[in-house]
Amino acid sequence: MTTILFYLFSALLLGAALFVVLNRNPIYSVVGLVFAFMNLAAMYFLLEAYFIGVLQVLVYAGAIMVLFLFVVMLLNVQPDRPHPGLIHPDRWWFGIMALIFVSLFLLLIGQGVRALLTSPAEDAAGMGSVADVGEALFTSFLLPFEIASLLLTVALIGTVFLAKKKV
């Protein structure tokens, strides 16, 4: 049952992700991305990481994508503008981006294959629960957690500085 659901959600996730990239209408892309996040959340549920799954829906699908949709709707990007040619001497950085993407992708696939060959780690009882995640954040991962909050504070102050005309 779990295996069937895993393949179902994987197929939907990949399909939605392709829809996001290949679609020319930005609103459709946003809706596709929300659907992709939902399927990702379903994958977390299958792994019994309910907290992470709900956060995926609450934060990404619920809050961040609403802002995406808000911006796309405000900008009102026309979907039917002429497509610029993909390969062009001026677009040499496309090649560099593609190279970085492909190498990262290969790295991930390599990691995945290596994980498949080794035996899976044992699940501790209650793993991925709110208490578990919270304890990990405030003990073993305290420094990265604080660095992330510092980064967010810097971003927040920067936004206020940019948005405010006179400081």
The DSSP letter of residue 64 is I
Which residues within the stretch 47-76 sit at the binding site for another protein (CB under 8 A)? 50-51, 54-55, 57-58, 61-63, 66-67, 69-70, 73-74
Which residues within the stretch 71-130 sit at the binding site for another protein (CB under 8 A)? 73-74, 129-130
Q: Write down the least CB distance from residue 10 to another protein, Å.
A: 21
The DSSP letter of residue 125 is T
Nearest to 130 by CA among 138, 140, 118, 119: 138
Stretch that binds another protein, among 6-14, 25-33, 141-149, 159-167 (CB under 8 A): 25-33
Q: Judged by CB under 8 A, does residue 46 bind another protein? A: no
Closer residue to another protein, CB minimum distance, 15 or 62: 62
**What is the Cα–Cα distance from 158 to 144, expressed in whole angstroms?**
21
Looking up tokens 């996001």, which residue turns up? Answer: 20
Residues 69/32, Cβ–Cβ less than 8 Å: no
Residues 43/1, Cβ–Cβ less than 8 Å: no
Residues forming contacts to another protein in the complex (CB under 8 A) are: 27-28, 31, 34, 50-51, 54-55, 57-58, 61-63, 66-67, 69-70, 73-74, 129-130
